[in-house]
Amino acid sequence: MSDEKIPQPHPVAPPALGEARVVRRRDWMPSLIWLIPLLAALVGITLVAKILIDRGPEVELSFKTAEGLEAGKTAVRYKDVQIGVVQSLRLAKDRSHVRVVLQLNKDADAFTAEDTRFWVVRPRLDTSGISGLNTLLSGAYIGADAGVSKESAREFTGLETPPIVTRDASGRQFLLHATDIGSLDVGSPVYFRRIKVGQVAAYELDPDGRGVTLRIFVNTPYEKFVGANTRFWQASGLDMQLSASGLTLRTQSLATILLGGIAFGAPDDANGPVAIENTAFKLADDESGAMKAPDGPAKTALLHFNQSLRGLSPGAPVDFRGVVIGEVKSIGVEFDRAAREFRMPVLVQIYPDRLSRGADAGVPVSDATQEQRLRFMIDKGLRAQLRNGNLLTGQLYVALDFFPKAPPAKINTAVEPLELPTVANSLDELQSQVQEIATKINKVPFEQLGADMRTALSTLNKTLTSAEQLTKTLNNDVSPEITAAMKDARKTINSAERTLAQDSPLQQDMRQTLQELTRAAGSVRVLTDYLERHPESLLRGKPDDKK
């Protein structure tokens, strides 16, 4: 340490009594360094106040899984605008689901409506297509669809799949009733003239379990094509039918082959008045079934056939001269104790309104009842007959036609189901005729005919042997003489040829003789002429020429 002394301040003498004393006043203002924490606190209070002021309601969602969700990071979006964030995640006490707490913005109060829907948007591949691909980079988020209910709620059950139709979509919803859903699913397309105009929004089983109800959504402006007379049918996959009419293959588009779909239209493009929201329609199995005219009440009839039913199956058509008026419901077999034979009962469903359209003209009474028309046609020979509809597949169908030569038949319209008379088809009649012919052929005594034929063949064999022997005799005895005669005849012909040749002596002698005969004929002609002029010369002789 240094030995230097620290200078001491000089003592100030107290002022004398009666002298004025000047004292310097100290600065009471704090140092500027204290302004920094004060400003930070002020900013923090302002931010907290702003957060509290802008803070919206909290809602709690229930999901089966929290896949892709993170507290403080996962956003809540509506039309790609962030309206909140996931605040916390926790597992339910029973571990059956996950509870997600959302912190919504102040301007998102409408999303507390009781019918608001929430779902997780992540990459998906389903019947409606591929969705959520943008989340591959940004991560999953929670989508929302604002409700319209006036009641609010704080707890919601999240949807496991995004809704097909949101409340801000423009269009109309309609209800379709079907026996089964087939290959349809939520998101299956709806087509009009092969143009996609909507999709299936939802479906549910009917309370009685006898069918399903589908809710479809048709986008604007295509909802105006759905009218009171519109028909809907399933256009799912490949509609292939192999019936008595042949092979039929239909498809609406390539997408329906994989995903299924629904198509609609109207007979003769007569849609009728535009259908209102939630109008119910029937969903037919195919286009032909949807477009056919209303059938009216069905009538069940029983047919008994005394033949094989191979090739006849439930669903086979019942037609009247080519017009389908019903279908086969069931087939069976029963034993008739009275006749001691088996009969084949066939239960069919007939729509009399189809038949009466063409049969009313033949009924003499214009206001005839259905029973009267049926009795009239039975008296005229109306019968049911099994016919082959397809030679390739061997399928049968039931045909109603008139057979004037059929035996008379009576019907009892009081029993249910109504039993209609039947006749055997032409093929069975042909088989019966062939069987009768075979029976007659069996009666022919083929063994006796064979014995007689063997005897005749033996006699014929002997005759042929004798003829062969005669031929040999002719060859041995007659042939040499015939050969010698032929040689003599050939010699004679050769001699005649030499005689008749042009340079033969005979020909020359004959020419000389003919010349002499010609000269003699000339002399006779001269003599004759002279006698005609001088007939007296026969008495007097030829006078001498005068000199």
Q: Tell me the per-residue pLDDT of 261-272, one tens digit each, with 9 for 90 and over.
A: 899 999 888 888
Q: What is the mean pLDDT of residues 295-316?
A: 85
Residue 428 or residue 468, greater confidence: 468
Helix H segments across 273-369?
A: 287-291, 352-359
Which range has the worst mean pLDDT, 252-266, 318-332, 435-449? 252-266
Give the chain's end-to-end CA distance (angstroms, integer).
Answer: 234
pLDDT at 361: 42
Overall pTM > 0.75: no
* Nearest-angstrom CA–CA distance, 194 and 379: 50
**CA distances to 21, 179, 301, 304, 379 from 420, in Å:** 143, 30, 7, 8, 12
For 134-163, write each residue's pLDDT tens digit.
666 678 899 999 888 888 889 999 988 888
Which amino acid makes up residue 37? P
Placement of tokens 């986008």 in the chain? 219
Of 224, 221, 81, nearest to 141 (Cα)?
81
Give residue 426's pLDDT. 64
pLDDT at 230 over 90: yes
- 133 or 172: which leads in pLDDT: 172
Could you read off the pLDDT of 364-384 as tens digits, one per residue?
A: 444 457 677 778 888 888 888
DSSP string, 215-227: EEEEETTGGGG-B
Residue 547: what pLDDT? 45
Specify the DSSP element, H or E, that contains 175. Answer: strand 171-178
Q: Which of 204-218, 262-276, 481-495, 513-527 has the lowest mean pLDDT?
A: 481-495
Contacts of 16 (CB under 8 A, 6+ apart): none
> CA separation (Å) from 207 to 183, 204, 213?
21, 9, 10
pLDDT at 366: 44
For residue range 314-342, list pLDDT tens digits in order. 988 998 888 888 889 999 888 888 878 88
pLDDT (0 to 100) of residue 359: 45
Q: Tell me, what's the pLDDT at 356?
A: 59
The sign of the dihedral angle between the CA atoms of 426, 431, 435, 438 is: positive
Report the alpha-carbon distance of residue 406 to residue 400 in Å, rounded: 13
What backbone phi and psi angles, to 5 degrees, belong to 525? Answer: -65, -40
Nearest residue to 60 (alpha-carbon basis) of 158, 155, 159: 155
Domain boundaries, the chain: 49-157, 171-291, 299-439, 505-534
Q: In a 3-state reduction of DSSP, which class is residue 339?
A: coil
Scan for tokens 């402006």, then name that residue.
221
Q: What is the dihedral of CA 520, 525, 526, 528, to 10 degrees?
A: 120
Whole-number Å distance between alpha carbons of 529 and 535: 10
Q: What is the mean pLDDT of residues 479-487?
A: 74
Average pLDDT over residues 417-438: 74
Note the pLDDT tens digit of each residue in 52-99: 666 788 899 999 988 888 898 899 999 889 889 999 999 988 889 999
pLDDT category of residue 357 using cuts at 50, 70 and 90: low
For residues 387 and 163, what is the distance between their CA atoms, to the nearest angstrom? 52
HEC string for 241-274: EEECCEEEEECCCHHHHHHCCEEEECHHHCCCCE
Quick check: 257 and 250 in contact, CB under 8 A? Answer: no
DSSP label at 166? -
Higher pLDDT among residues 400 and 29, named by residue: 400
